[in-house]
Each structure stands twice: as C-alpha cells, then as structure tokens.
Amino acid sequence: MNEGNEGSGSRPDRRRVLHGVAGLAALAAAGATGGQASAATAGDPLFGLMRDNEHDDFGQTFDQASRTIRMPKPTAPTLSPQTAELTQQAVKVYDDIVARGGWPQVPKIDELHLGMRHPSVVELRQRLAVSGDLDPNAVANDIYDSYVEAAVRRFQERHGLTTDGILREATLDAMNVPATTRRDQLKLNISRLETLTTNLGPRYVVVNIPAARVEAIEHDLAVSRHTAVVGRPSRPSPDVNSKIEEINFNPYWTVPVSIVRKDLIPIMEKQPDYLTQNHIRIFDARHNELQPSQINWYSQDAVHYTFRQDPGDFNSLGHIRIYFPSPDGVYMHDTPEKDLFGGDYRWDSSGCCRVQNVRQLVYWLLDETKGWPPAAIDQAIESGNQVNATLAKPVPLHWVYVTAWSASNGVVQFRGDIYNRDGLGVPAVPQSTKT
C-alpha cells in the first residue's frame, strides 16, 4: 500500500484532527469552500484507506476542504507513539460536537442508495455534516446524490464497514450511536492506547480485534494491512503480547481439546464420516492411529485422544501458520475459506486469527531472515511439504482491543464493541451482514 503518513516525528496537530472529524465545518467557516465538490485525491487521508477495501477506482466526490489534507506515503498505523495524544485531541473535537447538541438520529429504512429520493435523506445529510463527512452547506434536500454517497463512503471507512456508499443496517446502526457515546468511547480507549503505544520498536505486528484487521508496522508506518477473522464473542480472541518466532508451511493442524469437546463430538454424533472426509486422523497416547468407529462419540472419551488434520488445501490452517508463544494456544494462519474475509462480520473463529493474503505478511516477516526471499517462500508453499522457517529476529506481536482512535492522518475511527468490553452500548456489526 502506498497511502501516506504525516511523519512519525512531527508534533501532533489539532488542525489535522479537526480535518478528520469536524474539519469540513471548521474549514467552511474559515472560508475554505462552499458546497462545491471535487474528486478525492491521494491527498485525502481516507483515500488510501478506502483503496484498502476497494479494487476499482475511487471516483466519488468530496468537498474542496478534503484536498488540503496532505498525507505522504504510506498509511499511518493504528498504534504509533502519537496515537494516544492524537486521540486525546480528538476528544476535544467531540466535546465541541456534544456541546452543540450532537447529531440527529437517522430514521430506520431498509436501504438508501445513489439516485433515491426519500425524506430520511434530510436527516442523513444533517448527520453526516455534523461529523464532518459532508459539506455543511449540502444539507438542504432529500436526494441521495453523489455528494451523499461520497459522505456515506467516508463514514463507512471510518467505521470499518464495507465501503460501498449504500446505507444499510450496519451503517445506519453505527450512524445512530450518539455523539456522547462516541466521545466517551474515545476517552475510554486513551488509557489502552497509552499502555499499548510505549516501547513499540521499529518492526511489529498489530491485530486489532474489534477492527478484525492486521497491520505490519515498520518505523511507525503500516507497510501492509490485512483483513482478519478473529474469535467470535462466545470464544473471544485474547489480548496477546508475544513475538513471532517461526513460520510453518503446509502444517498439520492438531485440533484443540476445547474444539474437540464443543464441536467435534457433536458433529461426529450426526456425521460419522466427518473425520475421514476432512482428513483428520485419531491417535492415542502411544501415537497409535485409531479409526473413528473405535471411539464412543456419545461420551467424553474423545477428549483423551489427539486429532490431527493432514496438510493440504483442505487444512483448517491453510498453507501457513504464524507461530508465537501463547499461553492461550492461539496463532495466526491461512484458511481455505477465503470467503470469510468478504463480509462486515468477521468474528467467527474459535480464538485464533485468520489472515487475508497471509503470504504477503510472511514475505515481510522473513525479509530479514537469510535464505527466505519471496521465491523460496513460494516454493515451500507449492511443495506441499512441511517446512519451518525460523525468524532471524523475532518480531513483536500485539493483539489489542481498541475501538476508537485517531492516527497521525487525523482521521478518527470507531469500531463496534464486539466483546462488550467498553460497556457503553456501542453496537457490534450485526451477524446478518455476514456473507
């Protein structure tokens, strides 16, 4: 990705925060521009973020004020030494929004999209203008035009939703969270960020669980981002502070006892051929292989055996496992179910983290390890054989729970409180949006 960054050593600037949150109104008041819009360029801090979620050209329009935001390459990360202070400055902006009465609620509607005319568009325009996503002069009609669509896209990107410019349930729910709640969400996350953003080092990996997103960070720049699938609320992913030590190509998967108990036994009661179909072998304590017919699946006897899935395209870990020490027994890995990355709802694992385009992340992780250029990595994967690569220098890894922050590009972002750890009533993405 080649989006840009404000420079890791620069002093946090409240004007940049204003641009990202309520800067449209502030700049309009200062005489920046009226209701005229121009095509978004790479100078818009959300342009690069939107390109993360889109593979076609971004041709929507934003107000002239957006072009004044300059952002060199590439994108600023979620966690950096400046994140806590910038988030504190964003709180001041949201204090101002709250003091002015917050934003209006947008009435419930099944769907709004480009070209529609509906009374709810009036409230939608007002809502987007207050948060700085729409020019404050463009709030006078009920047409869902390209200005509104562009503003909805901007809002969706700031809230980690599919950036398609269509107002559906997930976007509407996020839009109707009160300004006071969003302000409190920022405040609550400052203490987390102050703890997380010290002594980060030059190279590290961050998994933000509420965002279901992985970032590879080098010298305070996010050099690559990856969509993730993390633990469902009933089996949450833990906070992790560890170091990535090894990459396992074409690994076996040993089924954890918790999954044997909660998932495998009930499945085998209904589908006796499940293990055979999924290339999962059973071993006793002496490493003797057993047949499924030798196990009493109507008892808990199965938890005393080892269940191991052979390597292959069908393997639950895919072709790559990223290993790091963890008392919770979790890891990061590939997956044969690539469609899981396509929906807004990506909290569907048993605690581990599945990584989209994991090969790109592995290229970066092994970049400083002799003998592992990209061609060697590709060859190891294509061989189908079990191969392990030990990192020359372990890379710090942080799985974090951050639901609101402002990075050095000045864009304030929010995510749903998927595990209800904030306790503010912020809705998680509804599971009905899962594709």
Helix (H, G, I), strand (E, B) or coil at 419: coil
Helix (H, G, I), strand (E, B) or coil at 415: coil
Q: Which amino acid is at 349?
A: S
Residue 414 main-chain phi, psi, to 5 deg:
-135, 150
287 is a catalytic site residue:
no
| Nearest to 125, CA basis, from 35, 3, 2 | 35
Selecting among 19, 226, 319, 333, the annotated active-site residue is 333
Selecting among 19, 159, 319, 352, the annotated active-site residue is 352
Contacts 24+ apart (CB under 8 A), 381-386: 381/249, 381/250, 381/319, 381/320, 383/249, 383/250, 384/250, 384/311, 384/312, 385/249, 385/250, 386/248, 386/249, 386/250, 386/251, 386/252, 386/311
333 is a catalytic site residue:
yes
CA distance 338 to 354: 9
CA distance 92 to 84: 13
CB 145 within 8 A of CB 61: no
Helix (H, G, I), strand (E, B) or coil at 217: strand
Q: Please list the active-site residues.
A: 333, 352
